[in-house]
């Protein structure tokens, strides 16, 4: 091993993703849900904004700044890193609410592609959401979004 190999072996190649608060982490997971398929259409943005605005927990965030920051983190680290950093910051009392909001956002356009399905599964596991709650949530959100 050469001199430079030794020096750079101890330095991580990329900084890890971090959030300063639980509400930023919550917002980040919602952001991941609308952007995982690589296409964010007007309807998804409207649903995202409505979801954020209806949640008092997120009301005092600098939303435009945070969205821009998450977009850059997505480019640099990927959505998996964002979600992996965000999920452990969610308090037990908000886990089900976050999961429901995620399912609602993913189903809002009526199509669930493979990337969205995998993300929802990762969120479900990361938040320790039961299969029973997941099934009920999906059924209700399908009914809600079919109106």
How many other CB atoms sit within 10 Å of the CB of residue 122? 17
Locate all alpha helices (DSSP H) within 1-112, ordered by sequence: 3-9, 22-35, 42-53, 63-77, 79-86, 92-107
> What's the CATH architecture for 19-145?
Orthogonal Bundle (1.10)
- CA dihedral 91→124→32→102, nearest 10 degrees, is -80
- The answer on pLDDT for 14 being more than 50 is no
Q: What is the pTM of this model?
A: 0.85
- When pLDDT is averaged across residues 103-131 and rounded to a whole number, the result is 92
Averaged pLDDT of the chain: 87
Instruction: Answer for the pair 104, 144: CB distance below 8 angstroms, yes or no.
Output: yes
Ranges of each domain in the chain: 19-145
Instruction: Answer for the pair 127, 99: CB distance below 8 angstroms, yes or no.
Output: yes
């Amino acid at each position: 091993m050469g001199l430079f190999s030794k020096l750079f072996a101890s330095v991580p190649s990329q900084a890890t993703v971090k959030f300063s608060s639980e509400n930023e982490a919550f917002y980040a997971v919602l952001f991941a849900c609308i952007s995982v398929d690589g296409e964010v259409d007007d309807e998804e943005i409207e649903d995202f904004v409505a979801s954020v605005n209806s949640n008092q927990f997120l009301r005092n965030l600098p939303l435009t700044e945070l969205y821009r920051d998450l977009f850059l983190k997505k480019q640099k680290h990927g959505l998996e890193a964002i979600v992996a950093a965000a999920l452990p910051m969610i308090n037990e009392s908000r886990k089900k609410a976050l999961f429901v909001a995620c399912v609602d956002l993913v189903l809002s356009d009526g199509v669930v592609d493979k990337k969205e399905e995998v993300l929802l599964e990762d969120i479900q596991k990361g938040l320790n959401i039961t299969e029973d709650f997941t099934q009920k949530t999906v059924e209700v959100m399908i009914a809600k979004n079919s109106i």
